[in-house]
Structure 1
Amino acid sequence: MTTKCSQLSLIIPVYNSSDQITLVVSRAVQVLEKLARDFEIILVNDASKDESRLVIENLAGGDYRVRAVNLGRNAGQHNALLCGIRLARYSTCITMDDDLQFVPEDIPLLIEKLEQGFDVVYGSPKEQKHGALRNAASNVIKLTLKKLIGAEIATHISPFRAFRTKLRDAFTEAQGQFTLIDVLLSWGTSRFAYVLVSHSERIYGSSNYTFSKLVLCAVNLITGFTTIPLRIAAINGALCISLGVLLLCYVFICYVSNGGSVPGFPFLASVIIIFSGAQLFALGIIGEYLGRMYERNLSRPSYFIESVVESRSESDVYVDCSVPSGTTRNNSTEMVLDVNRSTLDNVLP
């Protein structure tokens, strides 16, 4: 068990988890009270369709160490995490899912490893409790991350992580729909580590990450943070040129030896299909990158904060700090309003 540390920010993205989020927070509070002198729990509601918003707002009203952040639209897990990271007040951040597959009781293991001089520590499951297709898709993503980060640690990446909050300074300008926290963290450090932790079956509901969503995540990862597909397209073009040269040699040899051209429609059709397919493949890759450029030129924020609900201390009033109609708050100009009983008259009309 690690010694009591100073300040921790626990960030939990919340999506359709009204049934279990109270239990998650309760167990997290019990762990953090023993582990840290000061801590906060930031619950980022990613536009849930159930009663999650009401539940986390009630949690924030009952405990001044809990903040409920409501996003105006569904931004995705990593963008919700990015929002929480930018709102964190303390020097160490911890992220975990809301499904209790990774448990708060393992947080001390992450902190103990982090205090050994690392900047990012992952909780790597001893055994994953997912289906075969889900595990296969996760492994593809991890192998891609291994190429991006350039470290063996990528094979141990998980949503259960602890890192130094100062790393967010490396991605202050990051925005857009396609975000991956692990890549952003690699922009600020190369000191990664992992510890083995337990991984349980889901208690409530089913995972929102289906096989198709994980495949889409892998595609976004590859096209959003690397130029590997463009290189593959270039290699594919070179191979097609080589194949074309070989076919030309074959046609020339047949013409010299047989005194005529190569007969047969199937041969001609197969050649056209090969080269047309290669061209369409390259155009598809280029189109993906053009789409990424278009999205970024729109300056679309990674998320939109609709409201932040918190109380400043145990005796202070619980206030819903909603964003007024017609205003926007993007990820570079966020402000969180703390309102206590003594300042209500000065803040509210």
Structure 2
Amino acid sequence: MQDFDSPSISVVIPAFRSGKMLPELCNRLGKILQHINAEYEVIIVEDGGGDQTWQVIQTLAAGDNRIRGLLHSRNYGQHNAILSGIRVARYEVIITMDDDLQNPPEEIPALLAKLAAGFDVVYGTPMQQKHGVLRDVASQVTKRMLESAMGAEVSRHISAFRVFRTHLRGAFTDYRNPFVSIDVLLTWGTTRFAAIPVRHDSRTVGTSGYTLSKLVRHTLNMVTGYSVFPLQLASWIGFLFTLFGMGLLVYVVGGYFFYGSSVAGFPFLASIIAIFAGAQMFALGIMGEYLARMHVNSMGRPLAVVKEETFPLHNSVNREML
């Protein structure tokens, strides 16, 4: 076993139409990792981008046996791609990072130093994000919702640039839900989280595949997939509107008995009916989301299917987990 100040390292990178950036990323990673520990690997998971990225990965792997590639049969999403890489990682510590060079490899030693201070998971929080305004706002909303799902304050500082101890994956070995949030899964194995500020570089090639709509979809999947908060919210909305309806009934009946008149105006009554109907539909919609997830889970849909790989998977357990 290595001294944990210089652990063996598996780097997992989900790749989506990033062939132009991967050579530079792997070159910078190699310069940093070889000074930390000669025993390391870089696992690049091509998530069905449909371009030449897989050919680039094959070329990189052919030139360096520490670079390993996985090709998904189609696009399954960033977190599913990361999970595929996590499940075949061989070393003591796993580092996940984006493929767009916005997570500087030069910040890895700082993350490892924080991990060695007694934590199990350390996030590299961008000092200043280099995304658009709408993307930044959506990211902040996602993090607030993730706080409910994770039950951890560190959720406000999460990022795709994370370091964690490999043994944590034992907590979600049997996870089969196609809706994946790596950050929530990590909370199943530990409560020792930390975050440190790191540099966040601008993207110089291409555009991000993580659009605003995908962030919204991921937030919805995450909250309904790992939390009962929406159901509780629906219950409270129903309870509050029931109280409101009872109060309105007392007001109408009281007005009739004490003043001999009723509340005048069809628009008023129509508005009240519309409010109650809206509350009911809102609650039914939330319950429908949960039922839909139960239906998807019952179908046994895989998290991801690996179409091709640049290395033999000798570990049959890891193959079964894909």
State the TM-score, normalized to the length of structure 1.
0.87
What amino acid sits opposite 2:119 in the alignment?
Answer: F
Q: Which residue of 2 aligns with 1:145?
A: 146
Q: Which residue of 1 aligns with 2:79?
A: 78
Q: Which residue of 2 aligns with 1:333?
A: 320
Could you tell me how far apart the structure 1 residues matched to 2:151 and 2:277 are?
A: 35
CA contact (8 A) 2:72 2:308 kept: yes
Q: Does 1:213 align with 2:200?
A: no
Task: Give the RMSD, CA atoms, in angstroms.
Answer: 2.0
Alpha-carbon shift at residue 47 of structure 1 (Å): 0.6
Name the SS of the counterpart of 2:267 in structure 1: helix
Q: Which residue of 1 aligns with 2:168?
A: 167
Larger radius of gyration between Structure 1 and Structure 2: 1
CA contact (8 A) 1:304 1:330 kept: no
Alpha-carbon shift at residue 219 of structure 1 (Å): 1.3
CA contact (8 A) 2:4 2:116 kept: no
Q: Which residue of 1 aligns with 2:240?
A: 239
Alpha-carbon shift at residue 218 of structure 1 (Å): 1.3
Could you tell me how far apart the structure 2 residues matched to 1:331 and 1:225 are?
A: 24
Could you tell me how far apart the structure 2 residues matched to 1:113 and 1:205 are?
A: 32
Could you tell me how far apart the structure 1 residues matched to 2:31 and 2:5 are?
A: 13
Q: Does 1:197 align with 2:198?
A: yes
Question: How far does the alpha carbon of each residue in 1:227-249 deviate from its partner, in whole angstroms, 9 at most, with x for none?
Answer: 00101110111111111111111
Could you tell me how far apart the structure 1 residues matched to 2:122 and 2:261 are?
A: 69
CA contact (8 A) 2:111 2:163 kept: yes
Q: Percent identity?
A: 47
Name the SS of the counterpart of 1:37 in structure 2: coil
Q: Which residue of 2 aligns with 1:343?
A: none
Could you tell me how far apart the structure 2 residues matched to 1:4 and 1:66 are?
A: 23
* Distance verdict in 2 for CA 1:140–1:334, change over 3 Å: closer
What amino acid sits opposite 2:115 in the alignment?
Answer: L
Name the SS of the counterpart of 2:310 in structure 1: strand
Gaps of 5+ in 1: 312-320, 322-328, 336-349
CA contact (8 A) 2:18 2:100 kept: yes
Could you tell me how far apart the structure 1 residues matched to 2:116 and 2:38 are?
A: 16
Could you tell me how far apart the structure 2 residues matched to 1:222 and 1:289 are?
A: 10
Could you tell me how far apart the structure 1 residues matched to 2:11 and 2:317 are?
A: 22
CA contact (8 A) 1:301 1:330 kept: no
Q: Which residue of 1 aligns with 2:302?
A: 301
Q: Which residue of 2 aligns with 1:35?
A: 36
Alpha-carbon shift at residue 37 of structure 1 (Å): 2.3
Alpha-carbon shift at residue 130 of structure 1 (Å): 1.6
Q: Which residue of 1 aligns with 2:253?
A: 252
CA contact (8 A) 1:119 1:163 kept: yes
Could you tell me how far apart the structure 2 residues matched to 1:212 and 1:13 are?
A: 19
Question: How far does the alpha carbon of each residue in 1:10-60 deviate from its partner, in whole angstroms, 9 at most, with x for none?
Answer: 000000011111111111111111111200000000011210011101111
Q: Which residue of 2 aligns with 1:275?
A: 276
Could you tell me how far apart the structure 2 residues matched to 1:291 and 1:175 are?
A: 16
Q: Which residue of 2 aligns with 1:60?
A: 61
Could you tell me how far apart the structure 2 residues matched to 1:22 and 1:183 are?
A: 31
Name the SS of the counterpart of 2:39 in structure 1: strand
What amino acid sits opposite 2:135 in the alignment?
Answer: R
* Distance verdict in 2 for CA 1:102–1:273, change over 3 Å: same
Name the SS of the counterpart of 1:333 in structure 2: helix
Question: How far does the alpha carbon of each residue in 1:317-346 deviate from its partner, in whole angstroms, 9 at most, with x for none?
Answer: xxxx9xxxxxxx9976158xxxxxxxxxxx
Alpha-carbon shift at residue 263 of structure 1 (Å): 3.1
Alpha-carbon shift at residue 121 of structure 1 (Å): 0.7
CA contact (8 A) 2:139 2:215 kept: yes
Could you tell me how far apart the structure 2 residues matched to 1:139 and 1:105 are?
A: 25
* Distance verdict in 2 for CA 1:240–1:6, change over 3 Å: closer
CA contact (8 A) 1:14 1:44 kept: yes
Q: Does 1:97 align with 2:98?
A: yes
Q: Which residue of 1 aligns with 2:17?
A: 16
Could you tell me how far apart the structure 2 residues matched to 1:90 and 1:181 are?
A: 18
CA contact (8 A) 1:302 1:331 kept: no
Could you tell me how far apart the structure 2 residues matched to 1:259 and 1:6 are?
A: 83
Could you tell me how far apart the structure 1 residues matched to 2:317 and 2:52 are?
A: 25
Q: Which residue of 2 aligns with 1:113?
A: 114
Alpha-carbon shift at residue 187 of structure 1 (Å): 0.4
What amino acid sits opposite 1:169 in the alignment?
Answer: G
Could you tell me how far apart the structure 2 residues matched to 1:163 and 1:3 are?
A: 12
How many residues are matched? 318
